Amino acid sequence: MEFTRIMPHTDLEGFIECYWMMYSQDSVPQVEKIIPDGFTEIIFNYADVYKSKINGDWTLQSPNLMAGQLKTFFYLRNTGRTGSIAIKLKPAALTQLFGFSMDQYLDKIIDLDSLQNPELGKLKKILDDCVKLGCNRQEQFVKKILDEYFVKLIETAPENPLEGPLNLIFNSNGLVTVSDMVAVSGIGERQLERLFKKYIGLSPKYYARIIRFNYIFQLIKSKENSWAEIVYQSGFYDQSHFIHNFKAFTGEDPSAYFFGEKNMANFFLNK
């Protein structure tokens, strides 16, 4: 599997985390685990579709998808060759850009066509044309057309009312309390909860927990920390609490997890 991460135009810093591309000619079915990383996605599959297993049964996905926030891991399995172009969005961007209420899409992968959103229809046509022109694997071309689309789209986007709390979460690697978020936002806790439900789909406390979990991968990637240091630096009281949290998001013990394996989960979590 070939993975490619593409950084967007600097004007899109508040809306887009990255673009990514995935490609493989191997049609042998392989199961991949997807782990929460705190971002939402719009995904276009121009090759064969995938199956997903979220609540116990394998479900055939549509070619064009929107993925909301995840509370825990799920599985994907290819049905043939892989060819994908996707946009990984900042936490509040789907609400800012397209008006979605994200609590409706928690732990869900939605057929993009079912949303009947005119702006998403434009984006789909742009990428369909890209595939027809045979430019779907040309990184600079993909970046150019996506940058042009989103730079124009953000011209009318409303401000993010959660910018302060979200910056606090990311700058502290999730080691932040709800009281801290209330203080920086200047609003009450109930209003903060309502805004997180609409713009993110999760409570502020749970979202911070996901970002703290992500930080574990950055600490391990540095290869300069012992397990005891990782437990301490990621803000856990003890090793058992750390292991319980890791298992909740991955289904695995951290000592058994293959952090260096080339797979979808590690591609997204290892920035």
Which pTM does this prediction carry? 0.92
| Beta strands at 64-67 and 40-45: parallel, antiparallel or unpaired | antiparallel
- By the 8 A CB rule, do 233 and 219 touch? yes
| Helix, strand, or coil (residue 197) | helix
pLDDT tens by residue, 189-224: 999 999 999 999 999 999 999 999 988 888 877 667
The architecture CATH gives domain 163-269: Orthogonal Bundle (1.10)
2-156, which class in CATH? Answer: mainly beta
CA 229 – CA 219 distance, rounded (Å): 9
- By the 8 A CB rule, do 207 and 169 touch? yes
- As a whole-number percent, the residues of the chain with pLDDT over 70 amount to 98
Torsion angles phi and psi, residue 45, rounded to 5: -100, 115
pLDDT tens by residue, 1-43: 899 999 999 999 999 999 999 999 999 999 999 999 999 999 9
pLDDT band of residue 136 (cuts 50, 70, 90) is: confident
What are the residue boundaries of the structural domains of the chain, listed by start? 2-156, 163-269
pLDDT band of residue 268 (cuts 50, 70, 90) is: low
Residue 16: count of CB within 10 angstroms of its CB: 24
- What average pLDDT does this structure show over 233-260? 84
Helix, strand, coil % (nearest 5) of the chain? 45, 20, 35
